[in-house]
Amino acid sequence: MASETHETDDERGEGGGPSVDDDRLRRIAERNPSRLGVGRAGPRPRTETLLEFRADHGVARDAVFSRVSEDLLDELGLYRVRSLVSDTEEYLARPDRGREISEETVRELREGCEADPEVQIVVCDGLSATAVEANLRDLLPALLDGLDERGISVGTPVFVEYGRVDVMDAVGETLGAEACVNLIGERPGLATAESLSAYFVYGPERGAPTAKKSVISNVHSGGLPAVEAGAAIADLLAEMLEKRASGLDLGGNDREFQKG
């Protein structure tokens, strides 16, 4: 018995596969940075697609292996220290050393930075110095203005070279901060190498579990723009201080920036 739902020749795609709605695919591809509908030449990617892939891969590698410029750190007045990591190879192989600072660095921070702030700002190159370069110049002033408008005291902003997310626990604990935010370059993908995230913790202390931490991610020109991110980060820090909590303890599924 013949099926009543079989496709006609016009409905089948090339090679007898499912047909493609070209207009719908084009609309989806235009709204999505992923590599959709790029086609192929026989069994291989098209030359243009392959060249774009290699170029984006090169950008991602550069983001990981480049360093944040001294000019940017000077311009923004960041106090500079380093984690226990000595170079990029060790940073990639030993995440644990990127979370800690030496006793010498502890003394440097206590001598050179303001103590007991309500908010301690930490900046880390993380896995993308490109993300820090692309966003921090706009984000940091917006964040500082937002905290100043709320009357929240801010410690000396600190840049940790080769820092991981949890290095904010060590810095915040050392300086006696009530809350800490870490602005860190995220692992680059093939769509963008400029994505930065902000991680938060209330009552920073070494070994604080991930469940105690909050995050605002996808900060870049194609996601949450840097200036808007600065305002959103200030809002979340104010809420953390008011409720004396972060992460799962804070909750907050009704926050406005999460609805965008």
pLDDT in tens, the chain (260 residues): 444 444 454 445 555 556 778 888 888 888 887 888 788 888 888 888 888 888 888 888 888 888 999 999 999 999 999 999 999 999 999 999 999 999 999 999 999 999 999 999 999 999 999 999 999 999 999 999 999 999 999 999 999 999 999 999 999 999 999 999 999 999 887 778 889 999 999 999 998 889 999 999 999 988 999 999 999 999 999 999 999 999 999 976 555 544 43
Neighbours of 248 (CB within 10 A): 12
Closest CA to 97 of 32, 27, 163: 163
**Helix/strand/coil for 165:** coil
Strands 158-161 and 79-82, bridge-based pairing: parallel
pLDDT the model gives residue 49? 87
Distance CA 37, CA 29 (A): 7
CA-CA distance, 100 to 106, in Å (whole number)?
Answer: 10
pLDDT of residue 15: 53
Distances (CA, A) of 205 to 105, 158, 201, 219, 254: 16, 17, 9, 26, 27
How big is the CA angle at 216 (ends 214 and 217), to the nearest 5 degrees?
125
Contact 197, 186 (CB under 8 A): yes
Q: What is the dihedral of CA 177, 181, 182, 185, to 10 degrees?
A: -170
pTM score of the predicted model: 0.82
Give residue 150's pLDDT.
Answer: 96
Q: What is the pLDDT of residue 258?
A: 46
